[in-house]
């Protein structure tokens, strides 16, 4: 099993939509709120999330994939983007948000 944990550490509510039946709708996460879900790992699991922090900080990231090599994938959303915890390095690494031009959310 793979667990994905996503926590809002931004100073305001953010919006997320993840490619998982439990959290597949666009939803608002308040500051300090955490969502998590589990799924059975298939040969090459690809689970994505769309996150909207603000107009210039929004896009898609892979919440779980082979290169991350995680069974408990920990993510934090901050005012300036999305961060992944790398246990081997014991540090937070900022990840790139892939832009989605057709997903223009005006909040």
Give whichever of 8-22, 32-46, 57-71, 82-96 has the largest mean pLDDT: 82-96
Residue 26 falls within a domain, yes or no?
Answer: yes
Report the pLDDT value the prediction gives residue 64, as an integer from 0 to 100. Answer: 73
- How many structural domains compose the chain? 1
Contacts of 11 (CB under 8 A, 6+ apart): 31, 79
pLDDT of residue 7: 96
The domain of 53 spans: 2-95
17 vs 94: CA distance, rounded Å? 19
pTM: 0.80
Q: Which two tokens stand for residue 92?
A: 């937070």
> Do residues 61 and 51 lie in contact, with contact meaning Cβ atoms separated by under 8 Å?
yes
Residue 17 covered by a domain? yes
Say which residue, 13 or 68, is predicted with more confidence: 13
Domain of 8, CATH number, reads 2.60.40
For residue 100, is it within any domain? no
Look at residue 13 and tell me whether its pLDDT is greater than 90.
yes
Q: Could you tell me which residues are beta bridge partners of residue 54?
A: 57
Report whether 76 contacts 82 (CB < 8 A).
Answer: yes
């Amino acid at each position: 099993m793979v667990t994905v944990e996503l926590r809002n550490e931004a100073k305001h509510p953010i919006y997320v939509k993840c490619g998982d039946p439990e959290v597949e709708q666009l939803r608002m996460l308040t500051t300090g709120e955490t969502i998590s879900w589990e799924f059975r790992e298939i040969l090459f699991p690809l689970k994505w999330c769309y996150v909207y922090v603000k107009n210039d900080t929004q896009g898609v990231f892979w919440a779980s994939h082979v290169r991350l090599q995680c069974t408990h994938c920990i993510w934090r959303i901050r005012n300036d983007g999305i961060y992944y915890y790398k246990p081997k390095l014991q540090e937070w690494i900022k990840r790139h948000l892939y832009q989605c031009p057709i997903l223009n959310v005006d909040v």
